[in-house]
Structures are given as structure tokens and as C-alpha cells.
């Protein structure tokens, strides 16, 4: 069984050793499934660009697969097209359709999922625990028309979550907003097309995800390690123990091209954020975007220092900013949603700021 100490030890290794270990994991994966039986999930971002570089150094003919969600920076789309042997797949729904059906991706995945499920619980007698996580009392839940689980189960649940980081009472006001929030966007836009591709082709994915990116990725590594042969959707994540600094260092050392939206990679001294993984005096950063991904995604935007991703988007891609922030209308049920003019996220952010303070989401 892997431990957090083991992960920290791997994360502290010098880059050269990490590259060697990553190559080892990739070889194991290809030995199991063959070159024709694997592909690299290529988003056009710097992490998967590094992964593709390492994989193709070992196996030049490995396919790359790009999910074109329509939410990537135009520079990323152009960059992806500069590579050979890239298969482009698409989700079944557009982003605006996903929002209309499920809601806006804001706050974080866990919080959005809890609010979504709790809102759906009201009147249906399911997911009562989700309401409890939002700090809704048994009496309040009952007044909402919920058929609650037995008291004993609720007591046990309350005991296990009291004071826990999983309690989210801060987000209870989102049960009553005139817009929906949900975490299902990633499932529809990214996971579903990828899983469908893997199922249709019988190929097994290699991903550039890193444990340092989130708690859930760290947990996944503790459970499966880098090569999840035994998972429901087998996947290789051979860079799990890399950090953001490793990625930047690898790009600089190997002089590999990355999408122009990142700008240049330069030294920045005393960056506190990465200190826990690397105490080198000189640190690297990008002069443009630090992360790419979906340009309209609201997940985590309330945590960003200024300029936030939306403030930067306003400067760098004004047309996309207008579409994202502008537009929107109420549907016949009085729920705010995108329309032809735009996604209407400005209205959503304003409502969030009314609840949590005017600087909660900085987007202007």
C-alpha cells in the first residue's frame, strides 16, 4: 500500500530521476497493451505536451487524442494541430447546453456536486445527507418535504462530519439561487467522450495528471499508484509525482515548444507556492497564462489573486470575455441560463458577490 510519505519522497526527487521513473511506468504500460493499445490524452496544455514528448521519445508512433470541447484558447487549438498523429474527438453537447441542463461550474467540484444533489433532493426524498453537508438541520430538511433516512443514520452522519472539512454550510445559500450550479460539466465535456473513445478502440489512456494538483488526485495515486491496471477505466498517470516546477524545468531544459498562450518561461525568485516541493532559490514561471484548460470554467475562480483568469481574458481575448460574461436570460421556470448573446456568467458572478461579498469573484 502506498503512503503519503512515499509520495512526498517521490515529489522531492531531482527531475532527472523523475524522468527515469516516468519512463519506467510508461514502458510497463506499453508492455502490457502494446503501442497500438495505448494513447496519450493530449489537451495542448504544458503538462500533456511534456508527457507526449517523453512518450514519443520512447515510442514515436503512440497516438495522441485531443478532446475538442470548444472551450480551449484558440492558441491551444492551433498548437494541437502542429502535432502529427493526433485524433480529435468531441463531446455530444456544447458548453451552453450543459449549463442549461445541469448548471454553471463554479466554486469547486465537490461543492458544486453537493449543491446540485441537494437541490435535486428537495421534494424527492433522496440525498438527504447532501443537505446535511450544507448545514441544513433535520427540521429544515423535513420542512422542505424531504423523507429523511432513519434518525440513527443521521446521527451517525452528523457525528462523522461535525467540524469536518467536508461540511459546507457556507454554500447553503446556493440552494435558493435563481441559477443552477453543478459539477457535471467535466463528465459530459471531457470524461464521456474519452471513455467512449477508449471503449470503442479498446485503447488505454496515458494521462499527465499530477497528485500535487488536488486532494482527489492525491487519493487516486495512494489507491492505484501511477499505473491503474485494476481500475474500472484503466489509466496510466506516469507523472503523478511531478510538480508544476518540474514541468517548467523540463520544458526549459529540453527546449520543447509549448502553446503561445503561456508566454515565456522565466526565473522568478522566492515564489512561496512551490516552496514545499522544491527549495531551490530560483523558481520558474510563465509570463502568460499559468494554466490553460477551459477558458470559461468558473471552478476555483473565487480563490484567484488579481488579475484573475477572467480579468486576464478581458485583456487578452475580449471577444471570448464578452461572450462569457454577457448574455443570458431567465427560462420559463425563472432560472438564469445562457442565450445566443452569451453564457450570462456576469449575472451569476454578481449574484455570488451579493451573497459572499463584492470581491468574492473578481471578473471586471
Nearer Cβ to ligand SF4 (185/248): 185
Binding mask 98-117 for ligand SF4 (x = CB under 6 A): -------x------------
Our finding on whether 323 is near ligand SF4 (CB under 6 A) is no
Distance in angstroms (rounded) separating the CA atoms of residues 62 and 52: 9
Question: Does 89 engage in binding with ligand SF4 (CB under 6 A)?
Answer: no
294 binds ligand SF4 (CB under 6 A): yes
Q: Report the C-alpha gap between 7 and 9 in whole angstroms.
A: 5
302 binds ligand SF4 (CB under 6 A): no
With CB under 6 A as the contact rule, the residue among 10, 128, 189, 211 that binds ligand SF4 is 189
* 293 lies in the site for ligand SF4, by CB under 6 A: yes
Backbone angles phi, psi at 106, to 5 degrees: -135, 170
Q: Which is nearer to ligand SF4, 190 or 283 (CB)?
A: 190
- Cβ neighbours of residue 294 closer than 8 Å, sequence gap 6 or more: 69, 71, 72, 95, 189
Cis check: omega of the bond before 307, within 30 degrees of 0 = yes
Residue 184 CB, nearest distance to ligand SF4 (Å)?
Answer: 8
Longest Cα–Cα distance of the chain, Å, equals 62
Interaction of residue 251 with ligand SF4, rule CB under 6 A: no
Round to whole Å and give the CA distance between 292 and 43.
Answer: 9
Q: Residue 190 Cβ, how far from ligand SF4 at the closest point, in Å?
A: 5
361 near ligand SF4, judged by CB under 6 A: no
Task: Please say which residue, 89 or 126, places its beta carbon nearer to ligand SF4.
Answer: 89
Q: For residue 53, which of 251, 212, 198, 263 has the smallest C-alpha distance?
A: 251
DSSP 3-state assignment of 77?
helix
Q: Which of 15, 148, 186, 256 binds ligand SF4 (CB under 6 A)?
A: 186
| Alpha-carbon gap, residue 298 to 308, rounded angstroms | 11
Q: How far is CA 41 from the centre of its chain?
A: 14
Is residue 71 near ligand SF4 by the rule CB under 6 A? yes
- Contacts with ligand SF4, residue ranges (CB under 6 A): 69, 71, 105, 185-186, 189-190, 293-294, 297, 299
Amino acid at each position: 500500500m502506498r503512503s503519503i510519505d512515499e509520495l512526498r519522497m517521490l515529489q522531492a526527487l531531482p527531475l532527472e530521476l523523475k524522468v527515469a521513473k516516468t519512463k519506467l511506468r510508461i514502458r510497463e504500460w506499453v508492455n502490457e497493451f502494446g503501442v497500438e493499445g495505448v494513447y496519450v490524452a493530449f489537451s495542448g496544455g504544458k503538462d500533456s505536451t511534456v508527457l507526449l514528448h517523453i512518450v514519443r521519445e520512447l515510442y514515436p508512433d503512440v497516438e495522441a487524442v485531443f478532446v475538442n470541447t470548444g472551450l480551449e484558447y484558440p492558441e491551444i487549438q492551433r498548437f494541437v494541430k502542429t502535432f502529427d498523429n493526433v485524433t480529435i474527438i468531441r463531446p455530444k453537447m456544447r458548453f451552453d447546453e450543459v449549463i442549461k441542463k445541469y448548471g454553471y461550474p463554479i466554486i469547486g467540484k465537490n461543492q458544486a456536486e453537493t449543491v446540485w444533489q441537494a437541490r435535486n433532493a428537495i421534494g424527492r426524498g433522496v440525498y438527504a445527507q447532501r443537505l446535511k453537508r450544507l448545514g441544513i438541520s433535520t427540521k429544515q430538511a423535513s420542512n422542505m418535504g424531504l423523507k429523511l433516512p432513519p434518525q440513527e443514520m443521521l446521527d451517525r452522519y452528523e457525528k462523522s462530519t461535525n467540524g469536518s472539512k467536508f461540511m459546507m454550510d457556507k454554500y447553503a445559500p446556493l440552494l435558493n439561487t435563481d441559477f443552477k450550479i453543478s459539477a457535471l460539466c467535466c463528465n459530459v465535456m471531457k470524461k464521456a467522450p474519452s471513455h467512449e473513445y477508449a471503449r470503442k478502440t479498446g485503447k488505454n489512456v496515458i494521462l499527465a495528471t499530477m497528485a500535487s494538483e488536488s486532494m482527489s488526485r492525491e487519493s487516486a495515486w495512494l489507491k492505484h499508484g501511477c499505473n491503474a491496471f485494476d481500475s474500472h477505466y484503466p489509466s496510466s498517470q506516469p507523472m503523478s509525482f511531478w510538480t508544476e516546477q518540474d514541468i517548467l524545468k523540463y520544458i526549459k531544459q529540453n527546449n520543447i515548444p509549448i502553446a503561445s498562450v503561456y508566454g515565456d518561461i522565466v526565473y522568478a525568485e522566492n515564489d512561496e507556492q512551490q516552496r514545499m516541493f522544491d527549495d531551490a532559490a530560483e523558481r520558474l514561471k510563465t509570463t502568460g497564462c499559468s494554466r490553460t484548460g477551459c477558458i470559461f470554467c468558473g471552478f476555483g475562480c473565487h480563490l484567484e489573486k488579481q488579475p484573475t483568469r477572467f480579468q486576464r481574458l478581458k485583456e487578452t481575448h475580449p471577444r471570448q470575455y464578452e461572450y462569457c460574461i454577457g448574455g443570458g436570460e431567465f427560462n420559463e421556470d425563472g432560472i438564469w441560463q445562457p442565450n445566443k448573446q452569451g453564457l450570462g456568467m456576469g449575472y451569476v458572478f454578481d449574484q455570488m458577490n451579493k451573497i459572499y461579498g463584492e470581491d468574492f469573484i473578481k471578473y471586471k
